């Protein structure tokens, strides 16, 4: 039996496009990913204060929610790694 996996939806508020790329493990459509990528480049080039990152800040709470869940299942060279070290 062949199972089809449904494509993830972009996690940007009010966007229903297919999430083809991820930002910090969060699926985003190509347009929102590119917008946040450019915004981040400006921020790290010291051309934009954190508070003005209007697109990133709309998904920041989702990133903070998803990251701890996935931090427990990260593997490094095939070995499960967690905050306390290697299992």
Start-to-end CA distance of the chain, whole Å, equals 35
Helices 30-44, 56-71: crossing angle, 10 deg rounding: 100
**Rounded-to-integer distance, Cα 34 and Cα 40, Å:** 10
Rounded to two decimals, the pTM is 0.71
**In this predicted model, what pLDDT tens digit does every residue of 38-84 receive, in sequence order?**
999 999 999 999 999 999 999 999 988 876 655 555 555 555 555 44
Residues 6+ apart with CB under 8 A from 40: 53, 56
Query: Tell me, what's the pLDDT at 86?
Result: 43
**In this predicted model, what pLDDT tens digit does every residue of 2-11 receive, in sequence order?**
677 888 999 9
Q: Which has more pLDDT, 72 or 1?
A: 1
């Amino acid at each position: 039996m062949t199972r089809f996996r449904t494509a993830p939806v972009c996690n940007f508020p009010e966007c229903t496009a297919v999430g083809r790329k991820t930002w910090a493990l969060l699926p985003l459509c190509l347009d929102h990913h590119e917008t946040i990528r450019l915004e981040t480049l400006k921020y790290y080039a010291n051309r934009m204060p954190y508070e003005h990152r209007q697109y990133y800040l709309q998904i920041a709470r989702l990133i903070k929610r998803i990251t701890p869940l996935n931090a427990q299942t990260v593997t490094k060279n095939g070995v499960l790694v967690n905050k306390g070290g290697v299992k």
